[in-house]
Each structure stands twice: as structure tokens, then as C-alpha cells.
Chain A
Amino acid sequence: EAAVTQSPRNKVTVTGGNVTLSCRQTNSHNYMYWYRQDTGHGLRLIHYSYGAGNLQIGDVPDGYKATRTTQEDFFLLLELASPSQTSLYFCASSDSGTGGQDTQYFGPGTRLLVL
């Protein structure tokens, strides 16, 4: 069973605050993804990466930066958090290949509240 962990699990910050969400996968997967989940929108892709040092822009990237430091670690950065970024954030990973054809394994999620 693929393992994806996220930290923190819950985070509260204020408008303008600086937040880093962490994700680690221990399955040597090439692809890693950051999603946000909001009621009525399902899962929306923020950024993804297919290897250390690589970053691809997703569907809703505004206000977010991301960095893939190693095969295992993918970080999502909110440098000036806004209330509109209050959401449930998921990280996922998938094996090599075309990414979209492979099973994605999701972490448990981080609930972020921006006051």
C-alpha cells in the first residue's frame, strides 16, 4: 500500500500569514500533486511535479508556490495567505508513466483556515 503523509493536519493562520504544507511519499513515485477540495468544486489541481526540481502549473495556481526538493518531498507554500485559501488540501503521488493513467495515492489531507 502506497504511503503518503501530510503535515500539519490542521493549520490556522491570519490573512497575510506565511504557510508551508508538507507532503512526503515513500514509494519512489515520480509524480506528486497538490489539490484543494472545496464544496461544489471537487478536487482542483494546484501544482504538480514529475521529479525533484520539476514543477508544473495546475488549474488553480494563483497565490500558491510549490517546490519538490527530493523524490519524496513536495511542499506547498502560501506566502500571503488569504481567506479564499481556506480549504482542505490533499497531496497525492503516482508511479512513473503518463501520470494520468496511474493510480493516485492520496494523503490524509491538511485543513487550513485563514482568518
Chain B
Amino acid sequence: SQWGEENLQALSIQEGEDVTMNCSYKTYTTVVHWYRQDSGRGPALIILIRSNEREKRSGRLRATLDTSSQSSSLSITAAQCEDTAVYFCATDAYQGGRALIFGTGTTVSVSP
């Protein structure tokens, strides 16, 4: 498998809290994608971080990438109920870089 064992399956938090999910991978990658999937919809990219970047921010989202430990994290600051979704990481260490391999996803539930 491409993925490490510490990728969490589910997180439950309350509005206003911060949350971080981790993704560790086993094969060198040049890019880590983070996708979000809302119930009943297809995944949508929220952050893409490349191997020459250590951190990337987008609004309340922050992604980090540590190529030495082959791990990435996604943090949501001051979570809102609308952040409830499944979050996937994906790397391009697959099919000669022409395709992504997705992790199993982390379900984040934000309650009022």
C-alpha cells in the first residue's frame, strides 16, 4: 500500500475548534492533493502542495508537506458546520505520475 497506518478514519469536533488530519505515504511524490467530498457529490480539490513547498494556505485551510518524513497534514482553523465532509489526500506516485492514488479519507464531523 502507498499509505501509512496513521491516517485517521474519522474526527468529530465542535464549531470553532481547529482540526488537523494527517496523511503519510510510502513512495516519493512530487505533489500532494487534498480533496474534499460533500455528501452525495464528487470530490473537489481544496489544496495542492508541491514537493518544493513546505506550507500552503487557502482561507482557513493550511496544508503542510514534509518530504523527509513523507507526510502531509491538512488543518482547518475555526471549523464551521459546513466543513463537515470527507477529506482525501492523494499523491502522484502512481502510473508514472499520470494518475493519482487516493488515501481512504478522513470523515470530519463538525457539530454546533
Which residues of A come within 8 Å of B, CB atoms?
4, 31, 33, 35, 40-45, 48, 50, 56, 58-59, 90, 92, 98-101, 103-109
Taking CB atoms, residues of chain B closer than 8 Å to A40 are 104
Closest to B9 in A: A40
Are A45's CB and B48's CB within 8 A?
no
User: Which residue, of B45, B95, B103, has the highest number of chain A Cβ atoms within 10 A?
Assistant: B95
Are A101's CB and B97's CB within 8 A?
yes
Cα separation A108 to B94 with both chains bound (whole Å): 24
Q: How many A-B residue pairs have CB under 8 A?
A: 76
- Knowing A42-B88, A42-B104, A42-B105, say if A99 contacts B99 (CB, 8 Å): yes
At the interface, yes or no: B11 with Cβ under 8 Å from chain A? no
Q: Mark B44-59 against chain A: 1 for CB-CB distance below 8 A, else 0.
A: 1100101000000000
Closest to A98 in B: B97
18 contacting pairs across A/B (C-beta < 8 A): A33-B99, A35-B102, A42-B104, A45-B94, A45-B95, A45-B101, A50-B98, A56-B98, A59-B101, A99-B92, A99-B95, A100-B95, A101-B50, A104-B33, A105-B44, A106-B43, A108-B42, A109-B41
14 more A-B residue pairs beyond the given contacts A4-B42, A103-B33, A109-B42, with a C-beta to C-beta distance below 8 A: A31-B98, A43-B43, A45-B100, A48-B95, A58-B95, A90-B43, A98-B92, A99-B95, A100-B95, A100-B99, A104-B35, A104-B43, A108-B41, A109-B40
